[in-house]
Structure formats: structure tokens, C-alpha cells
């Protein structure tokens, strides 16, 4: 199951405009990558961590799962493919990285698989969903996991979303009796076996989710299998004490789903739903609802409040942290994250991450269709802004800031170029390695002696380090990635 890596209007929701060719991209001698350069502004002390994004609609050679350091240097680029939800999670007590990869559909969802990699980047699990689904074109897919969610639970299972095309009576909203709809579903899957442990369908709950409550108009949808109406748009699922918390974007609501599948309560961004809505608690077209500190009396809920679609705007996009009082069925605003000097209107996607679970936590906001991420302190001050492309042309579905330590199972890469009769340029990189700080360059006059003579040591500089060697007499070289004087990885031996 090793995933080898070689060094040698509605459509706008997930498929954006033309490639942002004017944006600067990195190029390297040691890897065929072209990731976007990060334009970084820092104004305060940030929480340590790396930036995880999955850009798409940029350069093809930069469309992948990407990790950057806070200075904007590439740390890791995965295989060239469309990805989402790239982040660090816990599985069986150990840090892993996970991401969705697959095919984006024009009507705002996807079909793909979830990849789980260990701290050497070996793929240890590949999660698929192969239940009975109908696609817009009728084609059979290898896996039906949607891009919107792939969360590992404390019980080492995976929560995912899925969209099934089916028929429904749409007369209540002006459609046909035999109209077509995208049924929003979520699943809990056993990671080791791909066994479905739980499934839930929005279409099975017409009393709690009537079509008339959807904010997504029919327009030209609902008339055929290929153009089903996206009534619900489930985009987040979270395990909670008595079931699941889900975000349904097109209802401007979060729903607490009991273990038996019934709806316990609805939190509406429009009017509170089952709760008395306090000041600053409204939201619309939201993403990434998460639950913290749940007790019988209440919980803390966070989300990315888009407040926008391609056709409507309710205000700027913000990160919201809400206090949900279950004893009094009231909701209050604990914090709104918004940069007053950079008001942003994100029409799709996005995420809001608490960097720790405390009242003093920093917040990390990814703006989805707007190509930026920001870190805020506990008082709501902006500490870091990183841009990675033109707005509404390049997107990252979610973005995270997390600590990650990895030693790849592949060798460091080295490229040697002769620039004069006795002068060579040595370019070195180790894609994905996080914990080395210098390179040692060894040489010799035979392959067997290539690692005998230390020629030079050089500090690590970003993703790729380049060193010029003058008056080089050795015929072979080998480079070694080191932490202080400890060797972590050896390149192949190169003939000069």
C-alpha cells in the first residue's frame, strides 16, 4: 500500500476561473515542482507550525498537497493531483497526514479517495467508499467519497461526505414531481477495512429539512440526472458525544444528529433555529463547523462564515466562535475574526482552525476561493497573512497550520552542474524532510570512496540548497542531510 513519490454561479464553487499565470511560482533543479510562492506578511509573534494547503487551478506542476514553512519555503509537495483537506491528524495515537484526492465535478462536489500517510510518507491506509451510488453521468466510480470531509475520529474511524443523485418531488419549490436532487449524505468508515459503520441521508428527514428551507434556488437545476439540485450541501461532519454534528451550507445551519439518525437540534445562522440568537451570531453559506468542550450544559462551536455566494452577499467572511448554551437554548458570540484592513468576501470553501483548545487560542483562517490564509491572536489581531495566488482564480478548499515532523523514506535529491573546468554547482533537496538543518558534501575519486572526504558543509536554505565548489578534484560526490552532525539521509552517488 506504499504510495511512492518520485522526485525525477455553482461551477465557481469548486472549479474556478483561468489559471493565475501572473503569480510567481518556485522552480527547482532537484524536483519537477512549480508550487506558488507565498507572499507573507508578519505583524506579531505566531504559534509555531507549518502551513498546509492544497491549491488547484494554478500551475499543473504546483497542483498538489503542499507544506510550507512560515517563511514561505516549500517543505513538501505531494503527487501532482487535485487534493483537499490536507492536514495532520491522529490515528492509533500517532501523527499522520491525510488528504482527499480525486475528481472535481462541475456542480460543486467530487469523487475520490482518502490517503493516510505516516511520518515517512508511506501510504499506510487508502480509504474508499463503494456503496450504491448514482453519479450525474451514470458512470461508475472507484470511490464515492466527496472532497468536503475526511476527519479521523477518536475511535480511529473516518467521517466522510458523499453526494448521491436521485429523484424527488420538487413541487414545493416550483420544480417537477419527478425532479432530480443531490442527496447530501455522510458516512463513518472503518479505516482498516473500508467497512461502512454508519450512514445518514438528508433526504430521509423531510420534516427537519424541508426543501422550502433551502437557500439554494432551483434556477436551471433539478431537471435532469446530470443537473441535480444541490438542496443541502453537507460540508463538515464532526463526532460528538451523542452522535454527529454536521454543517449544511445551503440551509445556513448546523445540525446535531443523534446516534439513531434523528435530528436533536438545529442552529440556524438566519434566526437561531432551536436557539435564541444573540448579537453577532448570524452566519450564512458556512463551512467547517467544529465542536469543542461539549458537556450536557453546552459546547463551543467554530466555523468559517462565508456569508457569500457567487450571487449574493451577507457581509464579509469571518471566523466565528460561538457559545452554545444547551440549558437555556441560547447562543452567544465568543469571537469574530475579521481583518478590518483587508475585508474579504469568500464565495466558496474555507476553514477556521483553533490552534489550541483554549480561550486564549490563536485562530487560523483559510479563505477558500480567496487565496489567502491568516493567523489571528486571542484578541483578534492579525499576526500573519500568506497569499498564494490571484483571488477567485486559485483556491485551497481548506488550510491548516500544524506542527509536523517527518523523515521521508526516499533519498535526498542532488543535481550537479559544471560551470567551469574545475567548478561545479551542487543543488540539494529532500522533499518532505522537516528536521535537518545542514548539508554535508562528500567526495572521492571512485564510487566506493565517494563518502570518504568531507568537501564542505552548508546550512539548509529553504527547499533547495545550492553550493558552488571551486577547484574540485573529486570525480564523485554524495550529499548528506544532517541535524547538527547527525546524519539523517544520504543521496545517491553522483558522477561529477
Q: How far apart are CA 43 and CA 384, in angstroms?
A: 6
Cβ 182 vs Cβ 249: under 8 Å: no
pLDDT digits 0-9 by tens, 415-443: 999 888 888 999 999 999 999 999 999 99
Q: Which residues pair with 127 in a beta bridge?
A: 114
pLDDT digits 0-9 by tens, 359-389: 889 999 999 999 999 999 999 999 999 999 9
Q: How far is CA 496 from the centre of its chain?
A: 41
pLDDT at 4 (0 to 100): 37
Cβ 478 vs Cβ 490: under 8 Å: yes
Fold of the CATH domain 10-402: Neuraminidase (2.120.10)
Domain boundaries, the chain: 10-402, 413-495
Q: How far apart are CA 458 and CA 437, in angstroms?
A: 9
pLDDT at 199 (0 to 100): 98
Joined together, the cell numbers standing for residue 491 give 543521496
Q: How far apart are CA 385 and CA 365, in angstroms?
A: 10
For range 189-196, the mean pLDDT: 98
Q: Which residues pair with 78 in a beta bridge?
A: none
Inter-CA distances, 315 with 14, 59, 223, 312, 422, Å: 21, 31, 32, 9, 63
pLDDT at 360 (0 to 100): 86
pLDDT at 21 (0 to 100): 57
Pick the CATH number of 413-495 from 2.70.50.60, 3.40.50.2000, 2.60.40.3620, 2.60.40.10: 2.60.40.10
Joined together, the cell numbers standing for residue 199 give 450512514
Joined together, the cell numbers standing for residue 315 give 457581509
DSSP classification of residue 451: T
Q: What is the mean pLDDT of the chain?
A: 94
pLDDT digits 0-9 by tens, 160-191: 999 999 999 999 999 999 999 999 999 999 99
Residue that the C-alpha cell 488547484 belongs to = 56
Q: How far is CA 74 from the centre of its chain?
A: 16
Q: How many CA atoms lie within 13 A of 205 on its CB side?
A: 20
Joined together, the cell numbers standing for residue 94 give 500517532
Amino acid at each position: 500500500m506504499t504510495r511512492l513519490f518520485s522526485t525525477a454561479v455553482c461551477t465557481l464553487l469548486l472549479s474556478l476561473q483561468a489559471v493565475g499565470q501572473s503569480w510567481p511560482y518556485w522552480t527547482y533543479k532537484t524536483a519537477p515542482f512549480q508550487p506558488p510562492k507565498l507572499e507573507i506578511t508578519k505583524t506579531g509573534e505566531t504559534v509555531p507550525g507549518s502551513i498546509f494547503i492544497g491549491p488547484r487551478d494554478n500551475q499543473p506542476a504546483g497542483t498538489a498537497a503542499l507544506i510550507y514553512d512560515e517563511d514561505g519555503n516549500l517543505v513538501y509537495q505531494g503527487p501532482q493531483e487535485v487534493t483537499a483537506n490536507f492536514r495532520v491528524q491522529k490515528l492509533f495515537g500517532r501523527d499522520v497526514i491525510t488528504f482527499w484526492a480525486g475528481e472535481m465535478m462541475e456542480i460543486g462536489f467530487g469523487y475520490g479517495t482518502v490517503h493516510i500517510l505516516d511520518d515517512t510518507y508511506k501510504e499506510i491506509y487508502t480509504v474508499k467508499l463503494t456503496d450504491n451510488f448514482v453519479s450525474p453521468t451514470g458512470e461508475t466510480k472507484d470511490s464515492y467519497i466527496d472532497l468536503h470531509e475526511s476527519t479521523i475520529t477518536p475511535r480511529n474511524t473516518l467521517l466522510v461526505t458523499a453526494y448521491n443523485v436521485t429523484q424527488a418531488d420538487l413541487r414545493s419549490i416550483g420544480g417537477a414531481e419527478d425532479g432530480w436532487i443531490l442527496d447530501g449524505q455522510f458516512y463513518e468508515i472503518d479505516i482498516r477495512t473500508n467497512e461502512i459503520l454508519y450512514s445518514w441521508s438528508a433526504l430521509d428527514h423531510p420534516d427537519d429539512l424541508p426543501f422550502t428551507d433551502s437557500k439554494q434556488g432551483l434556477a436551471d437545476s433539478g431537471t435532469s440526472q446530470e443537473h441535480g439540485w444541490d438542496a443541502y450541501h453537507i460540508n463538515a461532519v464532526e463526532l460528538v458525544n451523542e452522535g454527529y454534528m454536521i454543517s449544511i451550507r445551503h440551509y445556513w445551519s448546523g445540525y446535531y444528529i443523534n446516534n439513531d439518525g434523528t435530528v436533536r437540534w438545529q442552529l440556524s445562522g438566519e434566526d437561531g433555529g432551536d436557539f435564541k440568537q444573540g448579537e453577532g451570531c448570524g452566519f450564512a453559506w458556512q463551512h467547517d463547523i467544529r465542536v469543542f468542550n461539549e458537556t450536557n450544559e453546552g459546547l463551543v462551536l467554530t466555523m468559517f462564515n462565508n456569508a457569500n455566494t457567487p450571487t449574493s452577499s451577507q457581509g464579509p467572511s469571518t471566523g466565528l466562535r460561538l457559545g452554545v448554551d444547551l440549558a437555556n437554548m441560547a447562543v452567544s458570540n465568543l469571537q469574530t475574526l475579521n481583518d478590518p484592513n483587508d475585508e474579504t468576501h469568500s464565495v466558496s470553501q474555507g476553514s477556521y482552525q483553533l490552534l489550541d483548545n483554549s480561550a486564549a487560542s490563536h485562530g487560523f483562517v483559510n479563505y477558500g476561493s480567496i487565496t489567502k490564509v491568516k493567523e489571528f491572536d486571542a484578541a483578534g489581531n492579525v499576526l500573519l497573512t500568506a497569499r498564494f495566488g490571484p483571488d477567485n482564480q486559485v483556491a485551497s478548499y481548506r488550510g491548516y497550520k500544524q506542527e509536523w515532523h517527518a523523515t521521508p523514506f526516499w533519498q535526498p535529491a542532488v543535481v550537479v552542474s559544471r560551470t567551469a573546468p574545475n567548478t561545479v554547482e551542487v543543488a540539494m533537496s529532500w522533499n518532505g524532510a522537516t528536521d535537518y538543518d545542514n548539508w554535508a558534501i562528500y567526495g572521492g575519486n571512485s564510487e566506493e570512496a565517494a563518502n570518504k572526504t568531507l568537501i564542505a558543509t552548508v546550512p539548509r536554505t529553504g527547499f533547495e540548497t545550492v553550493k558552488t565548489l571551486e577547484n574540485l578534484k573529486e570525480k564523485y560526490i554524495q550529499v548528506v542531510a544532517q541535524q547538527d552532525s547527525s546524519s539523517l539521509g544520504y543521496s545517491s552517488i553522483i558522477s561529477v
